[in-house]
Amino acid sequence: MAGIGKFFGGIALAAASLAAACADTSGDPTGSDDTAKVERLATLSPATHGKFLHISDIHFDPFHNDKHLVVQDLPVDQWEQHFDGSASPSSGRHNDSNFALMKSALTEAAKTPGYDFVLYTGDYLSHDFREHAEAKRWVRHPVSKGVKDPIAFAAKTVEFVNLMIEQAFPGKPIVSALGNNDAGCGDYNLRVGGEFLKDIGPEMPTLPQPAKKDFVNSGFYTIDHPTVAGTEFLVLGTFWSHAYPDIGRGCGMPSDNPGDAQKTWLSNQLSTGSGNAILLMHIPPGIDGYGGTAQWQSGFQTAFEAILSKSKRPVLGAFAGHTHMNEIRVFSNSSGPYLSVRVAPSVTTYNGNAPSFTVADYDTATGAMTDYQVYTLRYDSKSGTDAWQAEAKYSASYGAPDFSPAEVQKIANNLQLTNDSTGMRTIYRTQYSGKGQEGARCNWQNAVCAVSFTDPVKFGQCVSRIEKVHPVPGNC
């Protein structure tokens, strides 16, 4: 099953529209077998596949060494020589990526040939960037040396990370979203039309002029798929987060509400636009699989689900980051599952995970992702040191022929069994934090229920049902 899925899986979505016209399986003895259907359709529509790279949450930390702050007065194309590429890659919880880790991840990712484009799902900047830049004491960090112009330095640091990505993948289009940390005024405080967006807007790679204007003035924009005609990426800002705006840092203003404008925009895009759409964002909608609370403000979550449910355009999936873990999501309504979401693990080790990036396959007829494989930097017993290693592919891990909502829903159902009779939960937990061992020891019940439940009550019921059989260990 997994082998067939690997080979034919990518055509499933492209073939779906042919199914009605060409594949009446009602009288077919194999008609109840999804794999057989997919295989037969493959002969009707030999779709081709492309490859893309999905990176998320580098959280580059220029404050790692005060000596590096000499770069603040230099143009970004002169920055690289001032960072130490031969240092050990940063590691450990609450440490963001030093230059060596960012460089290692990009260099390793570039060893896979044939990418058509790169997706970046946000959080270029290290945590508490503004507090570092202003030499303020903040919860988790020693005080670093401040910089002269924190907003300009934040913008330059985003530009530098983009430059590093561009240099690692020359000529490849980059489609990117900003994360909650990517703001001049501090975490969860992106100001639309503000100085930070005005600084980085003109420098964003691959953005055509109209999208640049939208990006600066609203924080969200559309961009054509780099290789698939008629498919568009809709790139969202992080204004729907539960924590936006974070007035606790003395920076956010409660009156800031660009989320309403984004809601109207998304609704218009999906009710009046044409062609396929793919969503790109930093914070995934739904429940946080770590803490078990909502990721978005509840009004926006409800509106998002309503807008997506009645979309006139096919939405071929969504890509996100933010949690730093290797995750998936599926959204359903009364008609069944309608949106699959890929949540990519991070380069930074800040949440205790191993550094990761994702190599993905997609259907070049539609743009839909069909399979993916995560690479993580983790202990290698052969060499006795940390080395980049590949996880099993999604298709092989879960026996899934594609990443359609229906397939992800099947996986969710298996992950949420109380007895893990299919073994999928062990695989999910082993890949979750990229360390080659079962992660999420204290919260895996949340992590697996968050895959498919967005309603807090139903999510709670899922967690309780599993916890009756598998109680959370006492020392959590």
Nearer to Zn ion, 301 or 353 (CB): 353
Burial label for 171, CB within 10 Å (0-12, 13-18, 19+), is: exposed
For residue 123, the minimal CB distance to Zn ion (Å) is 4
**Tokens 């793919």 sit at which residue?**
278
Nearer to Zn ion, 57 or 288 (CB): 57
Of the candidate spans 123-131, 243-251, 256-264, 327-335, the one that interacts with Zn ion by CB under 5 A turns out to be 123-131
For residue 107, the minimal CB distance to Zn ion (Å) is 21
Nearer to Zn ion, 345 or 399 (CB): 345
Of the candidate spans 115-123, 216-224, 379-387, 442-450, the one that interacts with Zn ion by CB under 5 A turns out to be 115-123
Helix (H) / strand (E) element for 461: namely helix 456-469
Nearer to Zn ion, 6 or 141 (CB): 141
Of the candidate spans 31-39, 116-124, 270-278, 293-301, the one that interacts with Zn ion by CB under 5 A turns out to be 116-124
For residue 179, the minimal CB distance to Zn ion (Å) is 6
Nearer to Zn ion, 353 or 409 (CB): 353
363 binds Zn ion (CB under 5 A): no
Annotate 17-49 with DSSP letters as a single string: HHHHHH---TT-TTTT-HHHHHHHHHHH----E
**Residue 368 DSSP one-character state:** -
* x/- map, 247-286, Zn ion, by CB under 5 A: ----------------------------------------
For residue 55, the minimal CB distance to Zn ion (Å) is 12
For residue 139, the minimal CB distance to Zn ion (Å) is 16
Nearer to Zn ion, 55 or 118 (CB): 55
Size of the site for Zn ion (CB under 5 A): 2
Q: Which tokens go with 135?
A: 């030499």
- Going edge to edge, which strands form the sheet with 231-235? 221-224, 231-235, 276-280, 315-320, 336-343, 327-333
38-97 residues in contact with Zn ion (CB under 5 A) are 57
Using CB under 5 A, which of 123, 128, 288, 407 touches Zn ion? 123
**Residue 231 CA neighbour count, 13 Å, CB half:** 20
Of the candidate spans 32-40, 121-129, 242-250, 283-291, the one that interacts with Zn ion by CB under 5 A turns out to be 121-129
**Is the distance from CB of 34 to CB of 25 less than 8 angstroms?**
no
For residue 429, the minimal CB distance to Zn ion (Å) is 21
Q: Give backbone dihedrals phi and psi of 259, rounded to 5 degrees, phi first.
A: -65, -35
Nearer to Zn ion, 98 or 395 (CB): 98
Nearer to Zn ion, 343 or 408 (CB): 343
Using alpha carbons, list the distances in angstroms from residue 409 to 49, 89, 423, 436. 23, 37, 16, 25
In sequence order, which ranges of 392-443 are alpha helices (DSSP H)?
394-398, 405-415, 424-432
**Tokens 């899986």 sit at which residue?**
9
As a whole number of angstroms, the longest Cα–Cα distance in the chain is 73
For residue 56, the minimal CB distance to Zn ion (Å) is 7
92: left (phi over 0), alpha (psi -120 to 50) or beta: left
Instruction: Report residue 124 CA to chain centroid gap.
Output: 13
For residue 412, the minimal CB distance to Zn ion (Å) is 24
For residue 137, the minimal CB distance to Zn ion (Å) is 22
Q: Which residues bind Zn ion (CB under 5 A)?
A: 57, 123
